[in-house]
Structure 1
Amino acid sequence: MNTRDTLTTPPPASAITPVAGTSRPHESAALHVSGEARYTDDLPELRGTLHAALGLSPVAHGRLLGVDREALLALPGIVAVLTAEDIPGENNCGPLLHDDPLLAQGTLSYLGQPVFAVIATDRHLARRAAAQAARVIRHEALPAVLTAREAHAAGQYVVPPMHLQRGDAAAALAAAPLRWQGEWSVGGQEQFYLEGQISYALPQEDHGLLLHCSTQHPSEMQQLVAHALGWESHRVQVQCRRMGGGFGGKESQSALFACVAALAADRLQRPVKLRLDRDDDFLITGRRHGFDYRWDVGYDAEGRLLAAEVDLIANCGHSADLSAPVMTRALCHFDNAYWLPHVALHGFCARTNTQSNTAFRGFGGPQGALAMEVILDGIARRLGLDPAVVRQRNFYADEGGRNTTPYGQVVEDNLMQPLTTQLLQDCDYARRRAEIAAFNAGSPVLKRGLAFTPLKFGISFNVVHLNQAGALVHVYTDGSVLVNHGGTEMGQGLNTKVAQVVAQTLGLPLSAVRASATDTSKVANTSATAASTGADLNGKAAQDAARRIRDRLAPLAAELLGAPADALQWSDGRIGVAGRPEAALPFGQLVQQAYLRRIQLWSEGFYATPGLHWNRQTLQGRPFYYFAFGAAVAEVLVDTLTGEYRVLRADALHDVGQSLNPALDIGQVEGAFVQGQGWLTTEELRWHPQSGKLLTHAPSTYKIPTANDMPLDFRVHLFGRPNAADSIHRSKAVGEPPLLLPFAVLLALQDAVASVRPEAPPLRAPATAERVLAALHGFDSP
């Protein structure tokens, strides 16, 4: 090929479109709305596929005496019945401690615990057989512990208590001019992903297994399946193209279903699918930890916190799961945006006979920060001050040594005050505060409330070694690119952002880059897509891979263009030369030449977050690479006769650094706000006080937010200041932090209640209409 033939006139500078940092549609948006996007249950079933269902414990606590297999095998269509005794390897799906059996063995730990699996020719036949669990499970009932407070009183924990301290809290409390002792609680939250837990296991040649699994952590599924089967990991391949939502519920808890499907497939040498119905999903799986709090705080007449001693008691369920790191993050986020000179925090992970609670968007951070917001709100009301003013008085600040967290990390690039100032001005907070006071004075039935809340959220896994990622980038001879990375796509747009990063690095239009399914046979030993690190880690790894390819191609491009390599400009699918607008080399033609010259056109990439260290014993170190900031103002209208309310307006200003994709990031902020609002207002979990059965195990009894619950006037903006840390394109994580924004909704309800009863204690969360009504009229909330 003649070199001159490869030169074309480049487009004018105005036609060169940046890729990273621009709003682009989700890579599967058209597939989502057309119904063409394939989830695990949409994959064509191979001939001979069998279906599994789980028989569940009928009691919250008991001794397992046996299972009447013969009665089950006599039912129509039943091929096999599997119990713990049929597991050839380790009977465990616990991600950290080996305390969570796949199938119950010896002890029944909660009502809904899987005891056996039935494998049938038809899914409905399998479910009918599993429904016989109460009849075929022989057991002896034992007393059950169903609440975290009861477990805490008995000293019953899944991991030892944790303590985070700075200064001398006891002495500072004794010396404080004002003091408040109180207690409060917040309920848990069901992930309610649209796609339930599902795994499809297919036996492969040479004693291998392919597992299609809706999971946030394919590598962990690979390891746990291998352990359960007594295999080496290389015999198990896990794939996940996309999930219909995860929110943390598919980080560790997809393991049970993956392992049971794999066990049945290997034993029967036939494909086996295990898909849960919504009711079973609720009854089997865990959710966000509910927390109880007890505090003793000291403060001055201006509302400045002087000392705090706080017990945080988490309802962890029957096993450890991820409760230890959840509690660690709760302790590390108790400070939220505020300087605490003397603090003693005590975290207790209570063991109860309920579902084992797990990761959920925010991973303990919301539970920690929310307690601080409730405390500061209460202090402001006791002093008769505007809570927004009290909050700002307590902000972290660079001067006076007020910039170090209780766990020893310096709060760098603190954006809290400038972000707050902008939000309060933009939403006209002061004027609206005065208007609401006037409205409430003249309105005996309807009351309005207004609240401002800030957030500071640390970004990184608080287990240091998890902060790593890998990626694989292939460039084909036509110039198109395929990228595979260790993250999983659950609707958040991770694949879109990673593709944007690769396209930007290679100077290509986004249409030239495609992301493939997450696959343990392509990128190994990956971390979960969690802790808001998906784009940070996998974006950097993919950028590393793309840069390696670009660096290999650069000498050839320089030769073909007759220019030094450092003068090359990669953009819009062409390689140009600075100062020479008359010629450019199309990327596809450069790739063809590279192939003929035997230059490697694929590369792996790797990234490990720098500068992190953490001491789990002392709870000291630098667990976070950077902090994301944000703030919200919410206004509500409450009917004092019924306790019902509407969110009239919500203003949110959120820090995402230099956004990789503003459209996706705004969507994430909006979604997190509404999800968090649901947690704090309508999503109430109830267990039967005697049997321990989860009563709110279906959409008919568990109320997630709907379109009618959205703020009537919803204004979301991005702060837009580049990250000071060397993150991917100076962006910041956006998955978890904005879930803290709707704290403003809960405290706006408190503000409305206070207009009627200034002495009312903090509203318990979720602040259902019944609880708001109880607070308004001074009787015990339900």
Structure 2
Amino acid sequence: MIGTIVEPVKARLQSFRIIKVYASSLPCSIHASKSENYLKGKSVFSQGTLTGVMNLLEQELQPDHILPDTSPEYRKGLAEALYYKFLLQLSGSRVQSKYQSGGELLTRPPSSGVQQFQTDSNQWPLNQPIPKIEALVQCSGEAEYVNDHSPIPGQLFAAFVLTTEAVGNIIDIDPSPALLFCSGKILYEGQPVGIIVAVTRKLANKAANNVRIQYSNVEKPEIQLRDIVRTKDGTRVDLGQASGADIDKVATVPIGVTHVVKGSFCSSRQYHFTMETQTCLTVPTENGLNVFSSTQWMDHVQGAIAQILAIPENSIVVSVRRVGGGYGSKISRPNFTAAASALAAHILNKPVRMILTMETNMRAIGFRPEALSKYDAIQVGVDDDGNIKYLKSDLFCNVGSSNNYSYALVVPVLFPNCYTAPDWSVLNHDVMTHIAAQVPTRAPATFQCIASIEYIMQHIANVVQKDPVQVRINNIAAVHPVLSMIAELKTSSHYDERLKDIEAFNKVNRWKKKGISLVPMQHDLLFLGTFRALVSIYGADGTVTVQHAGTEIGQGINTKVAQVCAHTLGIPLDLVSIQPSNSVVAANGDSTAGSVTSDTCCYATIECCKILLARLEPVRLTLVDPTWQTLVSTAKALEVDLTAVYMFSSQREGKPYAVYGVCVSEVEIDVLTGQQQGEPTARYRMVPLFQVKRVDILEDAGQSISPLIDVGQVTGAFVMGMGVWTHEDIVYDPTTGAVLTNRTWNYYPPGMKDIPVDFRVTLKKDSPNPIGVARSKDGPLTTEAIFLNCSTTPNQFSL
């Protein structure tokens, strides 16, 4: 950035100071003294003066490059642009009107939002728009998470000892009293190699940081996906899993192909940024271990501890009340903290807490993997209307140090989105690197696939010079449900009118540009695993408790379960209480993942209620118009079983269906301060670079069980995904492989001033799902709106 003190008199400069201070890593600022001396006495508004000072600034401003700062080229260009912007502010009528807006910063008006949905009061509490049942206790700080458990006498705290190199071998660790569980070959920087246990958390973390590890055979790590793909390193890139047509279009071009499109597209990494890091409390008991883990998969934690300690699974009880955000990071990775905490508690026979710091969490756990889509070998053949005649693409995913979650089988199926793909071939490649094994993150694989094909669609539109929306429509089957949603949203968002206004705006503004984009989406829901529910009615007052196999991670599953329970039993919602989940009730259950758990747990709860109603029916027939309390108290006196258990089975009851959505996004950018491609913007938030002016989303939720919950999920998912394209990325030290963006000082998810200025979410009307739970499509709403945010990527706009 350039600091200036100016006294302009008749457009000639009397005094001027140029100080380049926009380099946070520099010990001091750059004083552009040559540029200052050059400007003295000159007319700052002449073209010759401007050219001269820009040439001098180009020479004088030589920022360093200390990661995680963005590139020197960008920072230098930003400084020069700010000087030019300063001149434009002073210029007034001296410059043409189309340049004048360049002197203004983007200003944000107050935010606004509109949410529209249908609700049928005759079905309440089903389909009733209510806040989350935990909303008040969460907002007041009374909601209990793992680390809110009261201190236990004699409790200890554990912390991981992490590697500080990415490639090499461990030859010695000091001190040796640490509980060690790793030696030899290193897989990545930040890999846990041991545990320090202390009487306070602060002392444990301090001691862990003071452990010194000696290495041998240290090498420079392989981190960057593009570098490995470019060198075609066969030791790191697998051969891939192919799907679709067997296409070889190099020798012969199909009839109708008039354009060949080729290119590449890369999506960046993303940290899960949960409110609660990986956390676990393990308490030894007379029966074994009580484990309070921040996990999305209780059965997995239970099995991991049993395997590591070689103890029976029935001696381990895993309990979860709620999790402070998951987004996929707490499916398998809680095993790290749970196993370590349980190991220390088992050996020392004392309660042990392990609460990862954010820095440790980001170094050790992993992120959303970056992906590179390349369609430059066989390319994409289209006709003059943008109809795809053939497509062959390779998708490379940086899975990190282990392919414990391979994209190979799912990418080819997910890549087409909602488009017709008879002559498409997609080959996925898992790429191994020296970083933490990557973790499924909200809409894993689908996120990268939909972004890739939408980039290709926009690229095709640019090549054939056709409307991008029409190109997309041309590649969708004529009977596809998403077509009517595109037409509906185009009308309700006034897309065509706004497009004309934007084109007019761009013609008269050189340094401010607007763009508008429409993106469709299809998400195919697949059910996996089993999920139990247990419903108990209390005869004394008729209240009801429910325990289920899902984990409340903020998605509102408890609210939906309570609503279907109250609706099925025909009782007021306030009679229903959702109790914490545990591995006894939810034995052998699957993970809260894949956007299926709201559906599955609601289904199991409904079936439990049906069982109870069937038991109560003979009692009801003996009474005259009984109240609920009278009915259940009579049943209790007759020793009727008022507790029911039911297990949802994906093989028996899981019926796949698709969810659709469409999004229109309007964005304004400042061309002078905007970032180069691949430069994260958030590190320069003090300089406005862009603004998401308006977003309209039309979402297919079936007949929503809980409309406010679903609207909240759509909104949050969109903003989280928007961070990938606008703010977030992970920066590594190229020498050690260390994560440099490992705290809030240098890693920025979208904030309150980054959300769309005008945010409109509509749940599609009159769209019941005949095979869904209560005719809803609730499950995918926790993730699928994240796909639509690719409409905010720069490549989606023709400026």
Q: Is the 8 A contact 2:247 2:392 kept in 1?
A: no
Q: Structure 1 residue 173: deviation in Å?
A: 7.3
Deviations 1:500-540 (A, max 9, x none): 11111111111111111110011211111111111111111
**Aligned partner of 1:460 among 523, 526, 529:** 526
Deviations 1:569-594 (A, max 9, x none): xxxxxxxxxxxxxxx32112111111
Is 2:461 the partner of 1:384? no
Q: Structure 1 residue 365: deviation in Å?
A: 0.5
Distance 1:215 1:168, change over 3 A: same
Is 2:129 the partner of 1:82? no
Query: What is the distance in 2 between the residues matched to 1:501 and 1:672?
Result: 24
Q: Structure 1 residue 172: deviation in Å?
A: 10
Is 2:283 the partner of 1:202? yes
TM-score, normalisation: structure 1: 0.81
Deviations 1:453-483 (A, max 9, x none): 010001125xxxx332111111111211110
1:115 maps to which residue? 193
TM-score, normalisation: structure 2: 0.80
Q: Structure 1 residue 653: deviation in Å?
A: 0.5
Give 1:350's aligned amino acid: V
1:61 maps to which residue? 167
1:616 maps to which residue? none
Q: Structure 1 residue 149: deviation in Å?
A: 3.8
1:353 maps to which residue? 434
Matched ranges for 1:438-517 at <5 A: 438-461=504-527, 466-477=528-539, 478-517=541-580
Distance 1:303 1:742, change over 3 A: same
Deviations 1:43-92 (A, max 9, x none): 1021000000111101001112232234xx5xxxxxxx2111xxxxxxxx
1:311 maps to which residue? 394
Query: What is the distance in 2 between the residues matched to 1:15 and 1:346?
Result: 49
1:130 maps to which residue? 208
Q: Structure 1 residue 23: deviation in Å?
A: 0.9
Query: What is the distance in 2 between the residues matched to 1:17 and 1:376?
Result: 42
Q: Is the 8 A contact 1:156 1:350 kept in 2?
A: no
Is 2:743 the partner of 1:698? yes
Query: What is the distance in 1 between the residues matched to 2:251 and 2:622?
Result: 71
Deviations 1:666-695 (A, max 9, x none): 000110111111111110211112221111
Deviations 1:596-633 (A, max 9, x none): 21211001012123589xxxxxxxxxx97011000110
For these two proteins, the number of residue pairs brought into alignment is 656
Query: What is the distance in 1 between the residues matched to 2:465 and 2:307?
Result: 60
Q: Structure 1 residue 721: deviation in Å?
A: 3.8
SS state at 2:605 partner: helix
Q: Is the 8 A contact 2:188 2:434 kept in 1?
A: yes
1:635 maps to which residue? 666
Is 2:799 the partner of 1:743? no
Query: What is the distance in 1 between the residues matched to 2:246 and 2:213?
Result: 58
Give 1:636's aligned amino acid: V
1:46 maps to which residue? 152
Query: What is the distance in 1 between the residues matched to 2:532 and 2:440?
Result: 23
**Aligned partner of 2:474 among 370, 374, 393:** 393
Query: What is the distance in 1 between the residues matched to 2:535 and 2:383?
Result: 58
Moved over 4 A (4+): 14-17, 157-160
**Aligned partner of 1:33 among 117, 139, 146:** 139
Q: Structure 1 residue 148: deviation in Å?
A: 2.6
Q: Structure 1 residue 20: deviation in Å?
A: 1.2
Q: Structure 1 residue 140: deviation in Å?
A: 3.8
Is 2:674 the partner of 1:597? no
Is 2:332 the partner of 1:291? no
Deviations 1:728-776 (A, max 9, x none): 1011121111001111111xx3355x43xxxxxxxxxxxxxxxxxxxxx
What are structure 2's unaligned runs of at least 5 residues? 1-119, 675-688
Query: What is the distance in 2 between the residues matched to 1:723 and 1:487?
Result: 24
Q: Is the 8 A contact 2:727 2:749 kept in 1?
A: yes
2:54 maps to which residue? none
Query: What is the distance in 2 between the residues matched to 1:327 and 1:650?
Result: 33
SS state at 1:125 partner: helix
Q: Structure 1 residue 494: deviation in Å?
A: 0.4
1:76 maps to which residue? none
Give 1:625's aligned amino acid: P
SS state at 2:782 partner: coil
Distance 1:16 1:662, change over 3 A: closer
Matched ranges for 1:523-534 at <5 A: 523-534=586-597
**Aligned partner of 2:269 among 170, 180, 188:** 188
Distance 1:158 1:297, change over 3 A: closer
1:214 maps to which residue? 294
SS state at 2:253 partner: helix
Q: Structure 1 residue 595: deviation in Å?
A: 1.3
RMSD (Å), alpha carbons: 1.9
SS state at 1:545 partner: helix
Give 1:472's aligned amino acid: L
Query: What is the distance in 2 between the residues matched to 1:448 and 1:131?
Result: 48
Q: Is the 8 A contact 1:52 1:261 kept in 2?
A: yes
1:264 maps to which residue? 344
Query: What is the distance in 1 between the residues matched to 2:251 and 2:755?
Result: 43
Q: Is the 8 A contact 2:545 2:577 kept in 1?
A: yes
Give 1:145's aligned amino acid: E
2:485 maps to which residue? 419
Give 1:633's aligned amino acid: V
Identity of aligned residues (%): 30
Give 2:244's aligned amino acid: Q
1:253 maps to which residue? 333
Query: What is the distance in 1 between the residues matched to 2:795 and 2:573?
Result: 47
Distance 1:20 1:280, change over 3 A: same
Distance 1:548 1:533, change over 3 A: same
1:91 maps to which residue? none
What are structure 1's unaligned runs of at least 5 residues? 1-13, 74-80, 85-103, 399-413, 562-583, 613-622, 756-782
Query: What is the distance in 2 between the residues matched to 1:528 and 1:172?
Result: 48
Is 2:402 the partner of 1:328? no
Is 2:697 the partner of 1:652? yes
2:716 maps to which residue? 671
Q: Is the 8 A contact 2:515 2:667 kept in 1?
A: yes
**Aligned partner of 1:170 among 216, 241, 249:** 249
Matched ranges for 1:357-376 at <5 A: 357-376=438-457
SS state at 2:338 partner: helix
Q: Is the 8 A contact 2:126 2:563 kept in 1?
A: yes
Distance 1:751 1:272, change over 3 A: closer
Q: Is the 8 A contact 1:449 1:750 kept in 2?
A: no
Q: Structure 1 residue 237: deviation in Å?
A: 0.7
Query: What is the distance in 1 between the residues matched to 2:733 and 2:380?
Result: 35
1:543 maps to which residue? 606
Distance 1:396 1:608, change over 3 A: farther
Give 1:321's aligned amino acid: N
Query: What is the distance in 1 between the residues matched to 2:477 and 2:285?
Result: 57
Q: Is the 8 A contact 1:157 1:348 kept in 2?
A: no
SS state at 2:447 partner: helix
1:100 maps to which residue? none
Matched ranges for 1:583-594 at <5 A: 584-594=625-635
